[in-house]
Amino acid sequence: MGTGWSGALAGLGVLWFALASPVSAQKNYGPGVSDTEIKIGQTMPYSGPLSSYGTIGRAQLAYFEMINAKGGINGRKILLISLDDGFTPPKTVEHTRRLVESDNVLLIFSSLGSPTNSAIYKYLNAKKVPHLFAISGAAKFEDPKHYPWTMRWHPGFQVEAAIYARYILRTNPKAKIAVLYQNDDFGKEYLKGFKDGLGQAAAKQIVAEASYEPSDPSVASQVLTLQASGADTFADFSTAKAAAQSIREAYDKGWKPLHIVSQVATSVTGVLQPAGLDKSVGLVSSAYYKDPTDPRWANDPALKVWREWMKQHYPAGDPTDGQNVLAYTIAQALVKLIEQCGDDLSRENVMRQAASLKGVTLPLLLPGISITTSATDYAPFDQLWLQRFDGKQWTLFGDVVTP
């Protein structure tokens, strides 16, 4: 996909869509908004080491195209400009500046990645541009006091990792733990949350740590080092490609620890199939939205609607890939937010409404999980379910877990 305007048109296309919203008495428009248009932008890793996550952007474009066919928000259509940053922070900066300063978007929506969002959030706050539903669980993206224009989507990485730590302490209080983490904001947040969750036990029970760069071609040497530590528990805070490699490498080398993977590395098609489904049996992770491969949701009305949407509007997408459920759900949240804005589509009101979501339940979120924000709380949710892979699909166990 190209990096300029023509590249965006050629690579993904620019899709127009419309939404339904109540009418407010007074119209108030920010940049990129008129009686007929609302313009938003995002960056996605359509190329590079995290390209498997590019389906999120494609699915969101498809979702909005579907919404467009249903009507509109007082005649307004939304232009979503989705650009390929290759998961390279300098490219994220370049594209985001273009979206804000040349394309005049109202807001930045659902850009993916901790290091990439870290490269732009100070700039967007200085420009007072809404930076909404960033796909990251980094704590810096839920700091309304210092960065009131940025709000994350993903449950907090530190919270998620602390939940894993407490699970280990509960089920194996004498565990010997090896940790693999991505050497950036993403991985370091998981590492911190994990150690915080272990508390005083961390110094004794973590017997080995290893890190990798997102651009590394393999994590085989790191896995071998961790295996040599004698650990019986493997806390694996990797993204998709590295996680697939670590699962396969551990299995092939005969290492059989309790293997915990981050929630972002649970895609059956994007991670577990490349690793080998047989090699993934017993993995433990977490979830907050419905897994399309879980038989408990076979007759779920919301997933039936989603599957039909996939067939009609995103046939190139994989209906077993949970990343497409995630994309759909974040897009629904944006629809809800824009509906709340009415005709006041100023940047200031967009953020007021983003910070005024009260118990919002979306059809594909798991039971017990809802979105609530306030002017002092920019974490949409931090509830999670634990899940285990049985060789065919992930299966939830226990109850919803909260911090």
Task: Go through the chain and tell me how many residues it has.
Answer: 403
How far is CA 27 from its chain centroid? 33
Q: Is residue 395 part of a domain?
A: no
Please answer whether residues 115 and 184 qualify as being in contact, where contact means their C-beta atoms are separated by less than 8 angstroms.
yes
| Number of compact structural domains in the chain | 2
Please answer whether residues 54 and 113 qualify as being in contact, where contact means their C-beta atoms are separated by less than 8 angstroms.
no
Other C-beta atoms closer than 10 Å to the C-beta of 389 total 22
The pLDDT confidence band at residue 185, using thresholds 50, 70 and 90, is confident
Report pLDDT for 161: 97
In terms of domains, do 121 and 196 share one? no
Q: Mean pLDDT across the stretch 231-243?
A: 96
Q: Is residue 393 part of a domain?
A: no
The per-residue pLDDT for range 332-345, each reduced to its tens digit, is 999 899 989 999 99
In terms of domains, do 350 and 277 share one? no
Q: Is the pLDDT of residue 285 over 80?
A: yes
Distant-in-sequence, close-in-space partners of 285: CB < 8 Å, separation ≥ 6: 260, 261, 262, 263, 265, 266, 386, 387, 389, 394
In terms of domains, do 334 and 379 share one? yes
Q: Is residue 212 part of a domain?
A: yes
Q: How far apart are CA 331 and CA 350, in angstroms?
A: 15
Q: Is residue 402 part of a domain?
A: no
The per-residue pLDDT for range 174-183, each reduced to its tens digit, is 999 999 999 9
In terms of domains, do 147 and 249 share one? no
Calculate the dihedral angle through the C-alpha atoms of 160, 269, 318, 57, rounding to the nearest 10 degrees. 50
Mean pLDDT over each residue of the chain, to the nearest integer? 91
Query: What letter represents residue 50's amino acid?
Result: L
Please answer whether residues 356 and 325 qualify as being in contact, where contact means their C-beta atoms are separated by less than 8 angstroms.
no
Give the torsion sign (CA, 332, 338, 342, 348): positive
In terms of domains, do 226 and 338 share one? no
What is the span of the domain harbouring residue 266?
Answer: 157-287
Report pLDDT for 130: 98
Report pLDDT for 11: 40
In terms of domains, do 103 and 221 share one? no
In terms of domains, do 144 and 161 share one? no
> pTM of the predicted model, to two decimals?
0.84
In terms of domains, do 85 and 206 share one? no
